[in-house]
Amino acid sequence: MTSLDPYAEIARVLGAGSEENAIRSYAALGDSFTAGTGCAPGESWADRLAAGLADRNPDFVYRNLAVDGATSAEVLDQLGDALQLEPDLVTVVCGVNDVLLSVRPDHHAYARRLAGIFRRLTETLPAVRIATATAPERWDFLDLGRRPRMRKRLERGIVRFNAATRAVASAHSVPCLEAAGHPGVGEAENFVADGLHPSPLGHRRAAIGFGRLLGLNVKEEA
């Protein structure tokens, strides 16, 4: 069976429509997941999404502002540079580092920051399209040694942050890609050796997922 090229489908659907609705610029905000830590340049899901859009529009502009290790507070700081681009599309994915770097992660503060990002984007750019995502709630391949309490704390925190992401996204009519509970989080091939960051295959699948979230019908290879 012949598969659809995700780059071609992203270009065809997101680049289609009237000149008014065309996506001419894209800003990606977030942490290592969006930055593509552990992958070669151009292999992150955001880079793949941008490549599809660029194929359709020779004047397309893309900036990946994500930074490895960024917390939601630091992602909020990325917003100023994103707004200067006046993007038609913005993806915002964060929160995992808030949980990883704190013994008492505050999901309420995270929700306020995420809502603030969405609100500022839509107030400044009324026509902007925004997408976000939840995080895996299982980390089967992350080596935490003999620290089951740490694993339990991490997973409990992610569950709370995911609930906050869904609630904020719903309140702002932002589509949310559900990584939480996805069967792919149980497949080692989707992760690099550290068990935390996606592999090139994991990023490819994430790009397909975001493509579908944004209105595409992208199929994985048979």
Q: Which domains are seen in the chain, by residue range?
A: 6-213 (3.40.50.1110)
Q: How many CB atoms lie within 10 A of CB 86?
A: 13
Question: Who wins on pLDDT, 140 or 38?
Answer: 38
Q: What is the reported pLDDT for 151?
A: 75
Mean predicted lDDT score pLDDT of the chain: 83
Instruction: Indicate the range of 37-41, 47-51, 107-111, 162-166 predicted with least confidence.
Output: 37-41
Please write the tens of the pLDDT for every residue from 10-22: 444 444 444 435 7
**Is residue 33's pLDDT more than 50?**
yes
| Core vs surface per residue 10-30: b (16+ CB within 10 A) or e | bbebbbeeeeeeebbbbbbbb
Q: What is the reported pLDDT for 3?
A: 41
Q: What is the reported pLDDT for 20?
A: 36
Mean pLDDT of 193-211: 84
Mean pLDDT of 162-167: 98
Question: Band of the pLDDT at 117, cuts 50, 70, 90?
Answer: very high
Please write the tens of the pLDDT for every residue from 73-93: 999 999 999 999 999 999 999
Portion of the chain with pLDDT greater than 90, in percent: 54
CA triplet 46, 170, 65: central angle to 5 degrees?
Answer: 25
Question: Band of the pLDDT at 9, cuts 50, 70, 90?
Answer: very low
Q: Which of 160, 105, 168, 167 is nearest to 137 (CA)?
A: 160
Q: Which of 90, 95, 31, 52 is nearest to 204 (CA)?
A: 52
**Is residue 216's pLDDT more than 50?**
no
Q: Which of 73, 179, 93, 190 is nearest to 135 (CA)?
A: 179
